[in-house]
Every structure is written in C-alpha cells, then in structure tokens.
Structure 1
C-alpha cells in the first residue's frame, strides 16, 4: 500500500490502522509478529510505528495497572460546575485538575457541568483531602457532585479502528 492510499484526514492507511489495532491490545507484540500478521516487513512496521510516535498518533507506551493491586480501591466520578468558564481562573482550574495525581481522566464538557473527572484514591480520607485542595480552596468552583463507583464494569482505552473498513 502506498502513501496515496492514506486516509486524507489522519494520514493513516490500512496498514497503520492494523498496526495500531495490534498495539492497543498488547504494545509488547514483537514487530516481527506484527509484520507477519499484516503482510509487511519488520523494518516497514518499525518505520510506521516510529512515525506514528513522532506525529502523536501513538501518545504513549504504558503499563495499565490494576488499581486494586496497588490499594487504590475507590473510583469516583466527579462533576464540577465552575463560576466562570473564561479567563485565567478557568485555565488555572483546568491545569490543577490535569496535574492532580488522583485524577486519571479529566474532560471539559458541554451541558450543566463544566468538567467530568475520573478519580482513583486509596481511601475516602484521600478523596476528602483532594476535594479540599481542588474544589473548596478554588473560588471558581461553584459546586461539585461525586459518584462513587461500586464496580469497575469496563475500563479501557482501545479505539475501534477496524482497518478492513478503510
């Protein structure tokens, strides 16, 4: 497949999507095995992976840790409503959420609330300390609402790529 077969918007072709599909399932899959699976040479796979890392398509290669194995038993979804969505106070709040180690994911959203946070902590005391630091001490936080997860039914980051559809 040549570059002219690449998707115009993303710059990715079917081979790239097939590589990404494999890496999402196990990023330790040997490049030789990826090459055999998708019908390319190992050096071609290596070049494609390097390009996707350089362009930010592949954002990171990480280990996904089971929270309960490291005593982070409590998952909390938090809705945060701001007093003002504009200016430096908004940016400072957004950065504080992004920098907080307890916050695994942070989304700036439309609707009745401004942010949705996914928080993982060891204890409710840890969560209380985080709320004091991030919410109560921030004059731009109007209110927040917490939902404690009773079970982690599905957790994942894989995107459905379906390289055969392209």
Structure 2
C-alpha cells in the first residue's frame, strides 16, 4: 500500500478536523498542542497531497424535510473494468446518490440514495436502472431508523514506499 507518511501530529490534526472542520487554526493548534503556523502548514500539506479531499457540513435531514434513505444493491450483466467504471461514472453523476461502493461477494455495487419519498424513489429507479442495458438485478432496502452516521474514518500512519 502506498501513501504519504503521517506522523502523530498529522493524525491528531485529522482527528480534530474530522470531528469539526470549522475549528479555527488557533483552536486546532490548541487542541493538538502545536503552534498555529505548524498547523497551517500541516493542513495545507494534507490538502495538497489529497489526504483531506474536502470539508463539508453534515446536516440533519429530518430538520429540513422528510427523507427516505434507499440502500440499493446493483448487479451488472457485464463485469469488465470498463463496465464498472462506466457504471460508477453514471451513478455518481446522480445528485440523489450520496454513496457508491463496489463490493464483493454478492452484488457488484451498493448505492445509497437520499430521496424525499417513494414516488421520488420510483422515478429515480426508473431513470437510473431501467434505462441501463447493463443492469442485471436491483434490490432496494429502505432505512427505517438511522442508529449511527459518521463521516470520520480511522486515521493511521502510512509510509510512502516510493520515497
């Protein structure tokens, strides 16, 4: 596995930013026990090398309107590298799709979509899955309760073997 080297300070910075990316550089420095200029340099580096892809706000969907979370298993007829890439590009272009994973074993993909209600899901499914000639099977589950949702991932040191 290749990657960049992340030391303990990088890991602490990532931990704080995953919990709250809106902290100021001064707050970040205080929380990770480093100087503000050091934190600023480290965060810029983490962004430049792609460890930090983007900063987002996680909203409480229930507070802005009803939502229906669809967890969709998709199996393709043809399963070449090109077919997988084409499906990923196709499905990820849909604004209602919030997550897409290639999985194994079982279906080829698990897709998560946020829609307003069943009629909106029906329209989405008709548009995305009935129009594609390479979809063999679609099976959808609907969330009845979300017990946990986190955007933060475990962070661990990775050494770049190319250096």
2:74 maps to what in 1? 80
What are structure 2's unaligned runs of at least 5 residues? 158-163
SS in 2 for 1:106: strand
SS in 1 for 2:98: strand
Residue 76 of structure 1, CA deviation:
1.1
Q: How does 1:145-160 map to 2 (within 5 A)?
A: 145-160=139-154
1:48 maps to what in 2? 42
CA distance in 1, matches of 2:57, 2:81: 36
User: Structure 1's 87 and 45: CA in aligned 2 closer, same or farther, altered over 3 A?
Assistant: closer
- Pair 1:15-2:9 in alignment: yes
1:102-131 CA-to-partner distances (Å, cap 9, x unmatched) read: 110000111120000011100111111111
Structure 1 segments, 4+ long, off by >3 Å, are 87-90
What are structure 1's unaligned runs of at least 5 residues? 1-7
2:129 maps to what in 1? 135
CA distance in 2, matches of 1:70, 1:101: 17
1:111 maps to what in 2? 105
Higher relative contact order (CA 8 A, sep 6+): 2
1:23-81 CA-to-partner distances (Å, cap 9, x unmatched) read: 11111112112212222110110010011011110111111111222324101110001
2:88 maps to what in 1? 94
User: Structure 1's 106 and 120: CA in aligned 2 closer, same or farther, altered over 3 A?
Assistant: same
Instruction: Please say which of residues 80-89 and 18-27 is displaced more in the overlay.
Output: 80-89
CA distance in 2, matches of 1:32, 1:80: 46
Residue 147 of structure 1, CA deviation:
0.4
Query: Please, what TM-score do these two structures have when normalized by structure 2?
Result: 0.88
CA distance in 1, matches of 2:151, 2:105: 24
CA distance in 1, matches of 2:104, 2:118: 28
